[in-house]
Amino acid sequence: ILNVEQSPQSLHVQEGDSTNFTCSFPSSNFYALHWYRWETAKSPEALFVMTLNGDEKKKGRISATLNTKEGYSYLYIKGSQPEDSATYLCARWTDTGNQFYFGTGTSLTVIP
Amino acid sequence: EPEVTQTPSHQVTQMGQEVILRCVPISNHLYFYWYRQILGQKVEFLVSFYNNEISEKSEIFDDQFSVERPDGSNFTLKIRSTKLEDSAMYFCASTQSPERAYEQYFGPGTRLTVT
C-alpha cells in the first residue's frame, strides 16, 4: 500500500491569516502529485499538478511546493478568505500503477 | 467549462437491493474511473475503463460491482446486491486519454446510503 498522508486533518484560521498544510508520500516510483480543492456537494477542483522535484506553482493566493526526494508537498494559502474554506486533497500518481493514491484531506475553515 | 456530471446526488437504498450510479463524462474524454470515499476515510480507486472494457480494478471491485458505457455519453456503476459497507460517496472521473490519465476531472459525487 502506497500511503499518502496529510496533516493536519483540520484547521481553523481567522480571515487574513496565512496557513499551510502538508502532504507526504513514498518517494519511490513518483510520477505526479495533484492538489485538489473540494467543497461540499461540488466536484473536486484541480489546483495543481506537480511533477518535478523543486516545482513551485502558484494560483492567486495559493501556492504549492514539491520535494520528490524526501516525499512531501506543501500547500500555502496567503491571506485566507472565507471562500477558501474547503477540504484540500492531495493525490499521488506513480509510474508503475495506473491510479491515484489519495490522502485523507485537510479540512480548512476560515472564520470571518 | 465542460464538466463531469453525476446522478443522483444522493441515493438511499435497502441492503440487498441493486443500485446504478450514473455519470456523464466530459464529451471528448475516453478514459473513465470510479472512486469511492467511505465517511472519514481516504478516496479509494475502484476501476478504470477504456475502449469499452475494464482497464484496471482494485480489490474492492469484486463481483458485486460492474461498469458499463451503455451509450455514447453515460458511464454507469452497478452494485448488484448492496451491503451496509457500500455506503459511501462515489465519484466518477474522466480524462482524455491513457497518456493523460493523471489529469482527471472529477464529478461532484453520488452519496449512497445503504440501510
**pLDDT for residue B97:** 82
| pLDDT at residue A18 tops 90 | yes
How many angstroms from the chain centroid is the CA of residue B8? 12
Whether A43 sits inside 8 A of B98 (CB atoms) is no
**pLDDT for residue B71:** 86
CB B46 within 8 Å of CB B62: no
**pLDDT for residue A1:** 44
Sheet arrangement for strand A19-24 = A5-7, A19-24, A72-77, A62-67, A56-59
Considering chain A, what is the average pLDDT of its residues?
92
SS percent in chain B: helix, strand, coil, step 5: 5, 50, 45
Report the amino acid identity of residue B9.
Answer: S
Residue A16, all three cell numbers: 487574513
Interface of A with B in 43-72 (CB under 8 A): 43-44, 46, 49
Total beta-carbon pairs less than 8 A apart between chain A and chain B: 49
Question: Could you read off the pLDDT of A35-80 as tens digits, one per residue?
Answer: 999 998 888 898 999 999 999 999 999 999 999 999 999 999 999 9
Question: Could you read off the pLDDT of B66-88 as tens digits, one per residue?
Answer: 999 988 789 999 999 999 999 99
d(CA A20, CA A76): 4
d(CA B81, CA B16): 4
Å from A100 to nearest chain B CA?
A: 7
Question: Could you read off the pLDDT of B30-57 as tens digits, one per residue?
Answer: 999 999 999 988 899 999 999 899 998 9
